[in-house]
Structure 1
Amino acid sequence: MPKRNDYRGIVIATVIVVCWFTLLVYLLHWSVYFTSPLTFLFVLLQTHLYTGLFITAHDAMHGVAAPGKPKLNKTIGTVTALLFAYNWYPRLLPRHHLHHQHVATADDPDYHGGGFWPWYLSFLKQYITWWQILLMAVTFNVLQLFFPLENIILFWMLPAILATFQLFYFGTYQPHKGEHLENNLHKSTSQHKNHLWAFVSCYFFGYHFEHHDKPYLPWWQLYKTKES
């Protein structure tokens, strides 16, 4: 269990937010060249940082972003969720715990018995609201007053969309799809042991059985539980 005076989660959350914000500000001013591989590398990097925002909010849902400090933990979760396309932490929190309590059942808001695209659309319906769309539209129009359109689309909008694919595929669809053995209490599979790929793909959440088995571990300690 995380210790009450363990500040590493707070530091890591701060680093992710600062990196996301700093890179975004830089890229909104950056001269876009579609012939440069750097353009696409920056899109992928910003996508990964967007995913990190949500993973940090997810850690807060389990009380491990700032263990022993519930107000700070909630603040971290609220801020990082808002930065990811205006997600509302108090709305996400109960839904995520329903997922853990009723994994891969009709009462699991993250679960859908269909294929990839029907499941993905069901996943989006669970987490996207009209208020988010409205706030994103307002922000988009405000940003256009100060920054080039292509920069806004490439480095603010597109990475957020790609990050939903990243989170859904590696954190929901891949581990929970298909039939699971009766003795699989968490109805989850897990990526093969490869810490570099597990981090790059989705902050170790491909080790999904391990997360369900030990939800009190923050993402940056999850790899320690992987045995094979």
Structure 2
Amino acid sequence: MSNTTVKRGEGILSRNRGVLVAFGIIGTWAISLIVLLLIDISQLAIGWRIAATIWQTFLYTGLFITAHDAMHGAIAPSNPKLNQRIGSFALLVYALFDYKKMMRTHWLHHQQPASEVDPDFHNGKFKNFFAWYGYFMFRYWSWVRLFGLMAIYNIISLVLKVPEVNLNWFWVAPAIASSLQLFFFGTYLPHREPEGGYVNENRAQSSNWSVFWSFVTCYHFGYHEEHHEQPNVPWWRLPELHQRKLNAD
């Protein structure tokens, strides 16, 4: 194989890395969910049930992070239609969210972070984690989406004969837990006001965790100041920006 062929192949992979990463997350989530819904959960020890739920929660979080990157055009920068389709699908299977509506509110967050018009910020009165989370979820609440999810739940249970216990452990619980994970590591920690007040225009701060723990906790979303500075950079390149910032300081 010639060097030209190798370089051409590397160039194709580099250009399409965002798409490959997105498909990897979505595919892994789908395969994992199918397997977990079909297993005999009565044969699974409680420790393994918890481990599987944590694993599925991590993958659910990955779905939202994938959609989030799509909102910034980071999955397929040269193919906007493909970028939007991937983001729309990830949000749909995550919790029936409307991609265009979510993108509008997310860009409002970027334009006015940690302010009274920021849809992700607290109401100025209840700033602790639980009150802020409740207010956050209320602003994104939708009865239509809830009834849609309930309909899907019952179809899977009654028509496809999937046990409700499997659905509760591996579909319902991970979806709820991932919302807590995303809020805690992607909103609460980065945007809560420091004791000395905000120190940059993005009103965001980054964690100083290692690359491993940054990935495990929330797909490097803890490197949040870097994300606000360069929102078009995909999640898997945030550690590079974070390290560059540390070296500059």
Q: TM-score, normalised by structure 2?
A: 0.87
CA distance in 2, matches of 1:39, 1:79: 27
* Deviation for aligned residue 1:193: 3.7
| Structure 2 match to 1:202 | 218
1:1-228 to structure 2, matched below 5 A, reads: 6-33=15-42, 35-112=45-122, 113=124, 114-145=127-158, 146-179=161-194, 181=197, 183-227=199-243, 228=246
CA distance in 1, matches of 2:39, 2:55: 15
CA distance in 2, matches of 1:223, 1:59: 15
**Which structure has the highest helix share of the two?**
2
CA distance in 2, matches of 1:166, 1:18: 21
* Deviation for aligned residue 1:36: 3.8
| Percent sequence identity over aligned pairs | 40
Gaps (5+ residues) in structure 2?
1-11
CA distance in 2, matches of 1:6, 1:126: 37
Q: State the one-letter code of the partner of 1:194.
A: S
* Deviation for aligned residue 1:181: 4.1
Q: Which runs of 4+ in 1 moved over 6 A?
A: none
Q: State the one-letter code of the partner of 1:21.
A: A
Measured on the aligned residues, the alpha-carbon RMSD in Å equals: 1.5
Larger radius of gyration: 2
Contact 1:193 1:226 in 2 (8 A): no
**Which deviates the most, 171-180 or 87-96?**
171-180
Contact 2:198 2:204 in 1 (8 A): no
* Deviation for aligned residue 1:81: 0.3
CA distance in 2, matches of 1:128, 1:79: 19
* Deviation for aligned residue 1:59: 0.2
**Which deviates the most, 13-22 or 109-118?**
109-118
* Deviation for aligned residue 1:185: 1.6
SS at match of 1:84: helix
CA distance in 2, matches of 1:89, 1:175: 23
1:59-117: CA deviation from partner (whole Å, max 9, x where unpaired): 00001111111111110110000011111111100100000000001110000132111
Q: State the one-letter code of the partner of 2:164.
A: L
SS at match of 1:67: coil
**Which deviates the most, 123-132 or 40-49?**
123-132
Q: TM-score, normalised by structure 1?
A: 0.94
Contact 1:92 1:127 in 2 (8 A): no
1:133-175: CA deviation from partner (whole Å, max 9, x where unpaired): 0111101111112111110000011000000000000000011
Q: State the one-letter code of the partner of 1:52.
A: G
Contact 2:211 2:220 in 1 (8 A): yes
CA distance in 2, matches of 1:62, 1:126: 22
* Deviation for aligned residue 1:178: 2.0
Gaps (5+ residues) in structure 1?
none
Q: How many pairs does the alignment contain?
A: 225
Q: State the one-letter code of the partner of 2:109.
A: H
